[in-house]
Structure 1
Amino acid sequence: MNRGDTPGERGLSIPGMTSISRLRPDHAEALLAFERENRTYFAASITDRGDAYFAEFAERHRVLLAEQDAGLHHLHLIEDGDGGVLGRINLVEVRDGSAELGYRIAEKAAGQGLATWAVQQICVLAVEEYGLTSLRAETTLDNTGSRAVLARTGFEPLEDVMFGDRPGRRYVLDLSGGAPPAH
């Protein structure tokens, strides 16, 4: 993080490599390309967004940015050193000091520790920039990668749930004592 950056606007980065930045209007084209590129990959583990998501992307992006400005969400891109989108990581449904964590990592970047790094970094932002005291997350039981990321970053299982016909689990992370240390 750079000194003097505006709170909530600064990015977190590994120098010369990967960074997390708050979603902006000029991210729309790159984000849409990321979603299109990885649509089939994502649909293998979560419900497909459907054709309407892509057809109405510009309006959806505008609405999400307005909701972010209103404090309802904190939306971020994970970018490589050249500005290419490697993923997205979001804190949504912000209320009462808590938010729901969600992330998507590009197929080309999966399995390299990027999700764990990004969740660790977003926990720092959650505490230091957004004043959150807890995060919620959920995943299907067959998504072993996400379950491992949540375990490595300090999330505790809360309850089993169903996502349609797929069993899943809800998790919680207490941030009242600060972001957990990176492992």
Structure 2
Amino acid sequence: MPELQLLRADHAPALLAFERENRAYFAAVIPDRGDDYFARFDEIHRARLAEQEAGVCYFHVLVDAAGEVLGRINLVDVADGAADLGYRIAERAAGRGLATSAVREICRLAADSYGLTALRAAARQENAASRTVLDRNGFTVTGEILLSGRPALSYLRRFQGA
């Protein structure tokens, strides 16, 4: 069973391989990271770790037994007890319930370890898989938005006691 791990410096090679291998797959349903992301990956990775150390973001990777990254699940822009949730699962691992279970785990961590009271998320209308993951994890639709110029839904999940 894959393990959700807080991002570390030594994840960099496997994470870069994951992003490269799945770039076209991801770009079909979420905004592409752009060429600059790949050209400056090491610098960006170090910056992400610094953000995490400062407590403004929590970056996670879903890693298999061989150390390969199967997914990313991130909490960004942590402020006032809330954060934005983002996630992506490798094409070769899609359809196995990994996103649903990883988002369930990140919700538990958000409430129990990071002290958050709410998570926000968004998913494009055509991304039925992502919308299903959010629905299965107790997120509710809060409105319609544009995400990179395309119709999307915004979501919110509040935690007990919030």
Whether these two folds match at TM > 0.5 is yes
Say whether 1:60 aligns with 2:44: yes
Unaligned runs of 5+ in 1: 1-16, 179-183
Partners of 1:173 and 1:155 lie apart in 2 by 4
**Equivalent residue number for residue 153 of structure 1:** 137
**Equivalent residue number for residue 160 of structure 2:** 176
Contact 1:134 1:176 in 2 (8 A): no
Deviation at 1:83, TM superposition (A): 1.3
**Equivalent residue number for residue 88 of structure 1:** 72
Which one has the largest radius of gyration?
1
Deviation at 1:165, TM superposition (A): 3.0
**Equivalent residue number for residue 146 of structure 2:** 162
Contact 2:31 2:148 in 1 (8 A): no
Deviation at 1:64, TM superposition (A): 0.7
**Equivalent residue number for residue 38 of structure 1:** 22
Identity over aligned pairs, percent:
57
Say whether 1:116 aligns with 2:100: yes
Corresponding pairs, count: 162
Offset from partner CA, 1:23-56 (integer Å, 9 cap, x none)? 0011111100000000010011112111110000
Higher-RCO chain (CA-CA 8 Å, sequence separation at least 6): 2
RMSD: 1.0
Runs of 4+ in 1 over 2 A off after TM superposition: none
Identify which of 16, 21, 25 aligns with 2:9. Answer: 25
Identify which of 97, 105, 108 aligns with 2:81. Answer: 97
Instruction: Return the TM-score normalized by structure 2.
Output: 0.97
